[in-house]
Amino acid sequence: MDRFHQMQVFVAVAESRGFAAGARRLGMSAPAVTRAVAALEEDLGVRLLQRTTRSVRMTEAGQRYLEDARRILAEVADADEVASGVTGVPRGNLALTAPVIFGNVFVTPVIVEYLRQYPETTVDARLVDRAVNLVDEGLDLGIRIGELADSSLRAIRVGAVRAVLVASPGYLARAGRPETPEELSDHTLITSSAVSFGNNWRFRGSSGDRAVRIEPRLRVTSNYAAITAAAEGFGITRVLSYQVAAQVSQGELEYVLTNHEPPAIPVNIVHQQGRHTTVKVRAFIDLLAERLRAQKQTVRTTGARN
């Protein structure tokens, strides 16, 4: 059996965490996928996957082989697309990740535009409020909001956003508008674990940066929920500026303590380093970067208040 084919099947099964899911991804039958992986393990003389009745887990050898197989398959794809020249047409599946609200508002319209422009492509978009490991989950690129840790990923900065406090006009009329961060202790606060502000909110003032310990009355796991609770007049929440741009423009929410906002938070497109960037990835990155940099009202100028 062709080793390249075996690698493709193994990677699909490993990334999908199951033979049936891997088969659906490849458009193959489950028995054919099972035979391909079994033949690969027999040829290598090592068990790559640990099967149970409920799940498929990689062995230590399987994890190492997965990393090598991904690299080899990616290099072959790179070579194919580079050989086709810079005029090659984007084709194949593009896998990406972005935060939920940012993905809904800014990335999804670009995905639709990309798919319409390049009919030989498909897109798998994972919109989640967590830092996804591109390599481990087999993704081509992602949107990261925040300072980047040192890694092998290449980053392209496309804008910035603000960490803002918001509350409804009704709440502010009833409870008063705080003038200093320390006055937040007298207010009803809402936090979301989907953003990484924690319970020590940082602020900037004339005397320098400082952190204020807050005690939330309501803790939620969704930015949507925190914004909804604030819009309902329950209290003050801290989110990212783009997440409440619509509610602020419609008068449902108002900014609070704008003179104490911390520095702008960068927005980056990140993708894996390599000798070449495939045509499909480069085409999407170029389109997304252009569209995001053009979003001056909601992405760029929201980070200009430094």
Q: How confident is the model at residue 175 (pLDDT cuts 50, 70, 90)?
A: very high
Report whether 299 contacts 267 (CB < 8 A): yes
In the predicted structure, residue 100 carries a pLDDT above the cut 70: yes
The shares of helix, strand and coil residues in the chain, as percent rounded to the nearest 5, are 45, 25, 30
- pLDDT on residue 15: 82
Please, which residues have CB within 8 angstroms of residue 115's CB and are 6 or more apart in sequence?
A: 121, 122, 123
- pLDDT on residue 131: 80
Contacts 24+ apart (CB under 8 A), 186-189: 187/235, 187/236, 188/217, 188/218, 188/234, 188/235, 188/236, 189/214, 189/215, 189/216, 189/217, 189/218, 189/235, 189/236, 189/237
Q: What is the pLDDT of residues 204-241, one digit of tens each?
A: 877 678 889 999 999 999 999 999 999 999 999 999 99
In the predicted structure, residue 121 carries a pLDDT above the cut 80: yes
- pLDDT on residue 26: 87
Average pLDDT over the chain, rounded to whole?
Answer: 86
Nearest Cα to 278, choosing from 119, 79, 134, 97? 79
Q: How confident is the model at residue 129 (pLDDT cuts 50, 70, 90)?
A: confident
- pLDDT on residue 286: 94
Per-residue HEC secondary structure of 39-58 comes to HHHHHHCCCCEEECCCCEEE
Calculate what percentage of the chain has a pLDDT beyond 70.
89
Tokens for 143?
């949107």
Distance of CA 290 to the CA centre of its chain: 18
Q: What is the pLDDT of residues 290-299, one digit of tens each?
A: 999 887 544 5
- What structural domains does the chain harbor? 3-83 (1.10.10.10), 92-161+265-303 (3.40.190.10), 163-260 (3.40.190.10)
Helical H segments across the chain, by residue range: 3-16, 19-26, 30-44, 60-83, 100-102, 108-117, 169-175, 223-231, 245-249, 279-293
Q: What is the largest CA-CA distance in the chain?
A: 73
Q: What is the DSSP letter of 214?
A: -
